[in-house]
Amino acid sequence: MDKLMDHPWFIRVVSLLLAIMLYMSANVGAKTGEQTRNTFGQEDTETLIDVPVVAYYDEENLIVSGVPQYVNVTLQGPASIVKPTALQRNFEVYVDLTDLPLGTYTVPIKYKDVSEKLKVNIQPASVKVTIREKVSKRFPVSVEFFNRNKMPDGYSVGEPTVEPGTVTITGSKELIDDISFVKAIVDLEGATETLAKKVRVRVYDRQGNEIDVEPQPSVVEVTVPVKSASKTVPLQVQTTGELPDGVRLVSIHPEPEQVTIYGSKGALDRIKQLDGLTVDLDNVKDDTTVELDVPLPDGVKRIDPSKIKVHIDVEKVEKAENEENKVEKDEVRTWENIPINVVGLSDSYQADFLEPVGGKINVRLIGPPDIVRGLTKDDVRLYVDVSGLDAGEHRVTIRWDKPEQVRWEPSAETAMVNISEKAAAQ
């Protein structure tokens, strides 16, 4: 080995190899350093969607509109800063309105807590905002009914109660001034008993449009009494035919003597008694009880009870007394084409008879001869009462102002009338 070290060519070869290795090592190191420098200096761009916007202003006394809830933010700069900033979103986008008086302004959207090495682009870069005075006001809550016509027949609603009866609405003075009414809407479909519901409060402007504002509280408790409109009225029983010879009428009385009717208030107000109940005396020889269906007058939805009994009490008459009574047998008269009057009609409406045609019927009068013979057609007034009826077709009971001790048998007990508005004068 010592001999090789002493040989000049050996030393030259070793030196050459060392030089080559040193060169390669330096070259590789340079490339590695360049690659590292390029990695740390790489540019990147990230666009963040729906970044929330914070508005700085006097929230206790002011209302601000026009500030967007979200904006898009684009970050540009070194990837080593862009990436964590985009992921963490630990910066803030805001508008500063603290020094602005009431009015409308175009203001820039700003940001903070972002590295100075990043370029930030916000879309939109500015917004138009309006600053108004904040006002709070209490409003009474009224109740509006929905689907009232879908309640079961004969049911109606009483006066509703609302708890609490008022709500507080906060907003701009312009918004508060435009509020016309505040309502809680209650659905009455199918209601047959008192309702107690939690109902959302709705706010409306002067044009009747609903305003997107939340009152405090936003839900109220509404109680609506549901009841049947009713009235108790007496029954009027009429007779047809005549008792056989030897039989005298003692009394006729219904059981019960009164019934309860259910319907609209207008219909109930005009009904004083229930007519249309008739019993035939032709074949009654002994005390008799008959069962009758109680007819429904126009506007009445239900009657309780719907069936009644009529007790007919008679007595036998001795032959001699019967012969004597024959002298005083009831007189029977028939008058034809007696006109039917209409009462209870508003001046702006007219009523036309559909049945009977022409609004006339025939009437058979039965009573003591001395009374019946003294009557004229002017003494018998027929009429129908249309009080409270709306425009349209209605079947109504024919009534009459009868003289004492006289029975009547009309050719029709009801009439069909059509109520309509009078044509405007030309």
Give the three-class secondary structure for 61.
Answer: coil
Residue 320: both structure tokens together: 């001699």
CB 263 within 8 A of CB 302: yes
Would you mind telling me the total number of residues written for the chain in this entry? 426
Neighbouring residues of 158: CB distance < 8 A, sequence distance ≥ 6: 224, 225, 226, 227
Q: What is the mean pLDDT of residues 8-34?
A: 59
CB 117 within 8 A of CB 157: no
**What is the dihedral angle through the alpha carbons of 281, 284, 285, 288, rounded to the nearest 10 degrees?**
-130
Residue 36 has a pLDDT of: 35
Region of 113 on the Ramachandran plot (φ > 0 left; ψ -120 to 50 alpha; else beta): left
Residue 232: both structure tokens together: 């108790």
Residue 131 lies in a domain: no
Please determine, for residue 8, whether its predicted confidence score (pLDDT) is greater than 60. Answer: yes
Residues 335 and 321 in one domain: no
Query: How are beta strands 166-172 and 126-146 bridged, if at all?
Result: antiparallel
Residues 338 and 408 in one domain: yes
Residue 32 has a pLDDT of: 39
Number of CB atoms found within 10 A of residue 241's CB: 14
Residues 59 and 86 in one domain: yes
Q: How far apart are CA 351 and CA 22, in angstroms?
A: 124
Residue 20 lies in a domain: yes
* 66-70 own/partner pairs: CB under 8 Å, 24+ apart: 66/104, 66/127, 66/128, 66/129, 66/130, 67/95, 67/127, 67/129, 68/124, 68/127
Residue 58 has a pLDDT of: 93
pLDDT-derived band of residue 30, with 50, 70 and 90 as boundaries?
A: very low
Task: Give residue 64's identity as a one-letter amino acid code.
Answer: V
Residue 63 lies in a domain: yes
Residues 222 and 207 in one domain: yes
Residue 16: both structure tokens together: 């050459």
Residue 132 lies in a domain: no
pLDDT, tens digit, for every residue of 44-90? 999 999 999 999 999 989 999 999 999 999 999 999 999 999 999 99
Q: How far apart are CA 118 and CA 215, in angstroms?
A: 44
Top mean-pLDDT range of 132-136, 149-153, 329-333: 132-136
pLDDT, tens digit, for every residue of 305-355? 999 999 988 888 765 454 455 445 778 888 888 899 999 888 888 999 998
pLDDT, tens digit, for every residue of 161-211? 999 999 999 998 889 999 999 999 999 998 888 999 999 999 999 999 999
Write the DSSP symbol of residue 357: G
Please determine, for residue 251, whether its predicted confidence score (pLDDT) is greater than 60. Answer: yes
Residue 394 lies in a domain: yes
pLDDT, tens digit, for every residue of 363-388? 888 888 888 888 887 778 899 988 87
Residues 399 and 358 in one domain: yes
pLDDT-derived band of residue 25, with 50, 70 and 90 as boundaries?
A: low
Residue 69 lies in a domain: yes
Residues 87 and 23 in one domain: no
Residues 350 and 365 in one domain: yes
Task: Give residue 76's identity as a one-letter amino acid code.
Answer: Q
Please determine, for residue 14, whether its predicted confidence score (pLDDT) is greater than 80. Answer: no
Residue 6 has a pLDDT of: 58
Q: Which of 310, 328, 346 is the last residue of a domain?
A: 328
Residues 206 and 114 in one domain: no
Number of CB atoms found within 10 A of residue 134's CB: 17
Range of the domain at 410: 330-426
pLDDT, tens digit, for every residue of 206-219? 999 999 999 999 99
DSSP readout, 219-239? EEEEEE-EEE-EEEEEEEEEE
Residue 317 has a pLDDT of: 75
Residue 5 has a pLDDT of: 53
Please determine, for residue 357, whether its predicted confidence score (pLDDT) is greater than 60. Answer: yes
Taking the CA atoms of the chain, what radius of gyration do you get in angstroms?
A: 49
pLDDT, tens digit, for every residue of 256-287? 888 988 877 778 888 888 888 888 888 888 88
Task: Give residue 30's identity as a one-letter amino acid code.
Answer: A
Query: How are beta strands 70-78 and 110-112 bridged, if at all?
Result: unpaired
If one counts the domains in the chain, the total is 5
* Domain containing residue 239: CATH number: 2.170.120.40
Number of CB atoms found within 10 A of residue 283's CB: 9
Residues 205 and 236 in one domain: no
* First-to-final CA distance of the chain: 143
Q: Which of 160, 195, 228 is the last residue of a domain?
A: 228
Q: Is 228 exposed, middle or buried (0-12, 13-18, 19+ CB in 10 A)?
A: middle
Of 56, 55, 93, the C-alpha closest to 71 is 93
Residue 373 has a pLDDT of: 83
pLDDT-derived band of residue 35, with 50, 70 and 90 as boundaries?
A: very low
* Domain containing residue 112: CATH number: 2.170.120.30
pLDDT, tens digit, for every residue of 222-244? 999 988 778 888 888 888 888 88
Number of CB atoms found within 10 A of residue 73's CB: 23
Residue 173 lies in a domain: no
Q: How far apart are CA 310 and CA 290, in angstroms?
A: 5
Residue 190 lies in a domain: yes
Residues 412 and 335 in one domain: yes
